[in-house]
Amino acid sequence: MIMEAFILGGDPDEIAELREGGNPFVPGEGPMPCQLMMIGEAPGEDEARMRRPFVGRSGRLLDELMKDAGILRRQTYITNVVKYRPSGNRNPTDGEIEAFKPLLRAEIKAVDPKVICLIGAIALQTVFPELRVSRVHGKVIPYRKRKWVPIYHPSYVLRRRDLIPAADADMRTIKELLK
């Protein structure tokens, strides 16, 4: 697969465990270029089965939040920092995240988005290690000619329904930036 070739820019030893047992590579999807790119953490079980990002429970909530804000998924490039599902739902390690950075940088360059939405703590801290989602969600961070907007991860919002109004407002902030 062509996308996998990009990973060779990273450390292949770091992704060896993730690839064990034929665990599938889940590429980003969407138009290139496009105005909005969304970056999650890593595929879950449903995403690995379907080889598509954000198609499980959190993906459905993400779709709903996008739709309510008037953002079309088919006009958005959606990807994850790490492109394989970490076993047992563990967080990706720092080494794994590092190994996937060359691919993520290549995706950003190819998509050339105006706005990048960082979904959850892992995606946020991959780019801005010092920031915390609870403090900066919905804030617009200008960095390297793009606008970066962190949001709560939908899997967290599913457990914290009281955050739905904030998640809604953050998505509307993104929509405003696309105008």
43 contributes a contact to ligand URA by CB under 6 A: yes
Q: Which of 14, 41, 96, 170 is close enough to bind ligand URA by CB under 6 A?
A: 41
CB of 44 to ligand URA, least distance (A): 4
Q: Which of 7, 15, 38, 42 is close enough to bind ligand URA by CB under 6 A?
A: 42
- Provide the b/e sequence for 108-146 (b: ≥16 CB within 10 Å): beebebebbbbbbbbbbbbbeeebebeebbbeebeeeee
92 contributes a contact to ligand URA by CB under 6 A: no
Please identify, using beta-carbon distances, which residue of 58 and 173 lies nearer to ligand URA: 58
CB of 54 to ligand URA, least distance (A): 4
44 contributes a contact to ligand URA by CB under 6 A: yes
**Nearest alpha-carbon partner for 95 in 15, 19, 40, 41:** 15
Please identify, using beta-carbon distances, which residue of 41 and 107 lies nearer to ligand URA: 41
Q: What is the DSSP secondary-structure string of 14-75?
A: HHHHHHGGGPPP---BS-SS-SEEEEES---HHHHHHTSSS-SHHHHHHHHHHHHHT--GGG
Binding site for ligand URA (CB under 6 A): 40-44, 47, 53-54, 56, 58-59, 80, 155
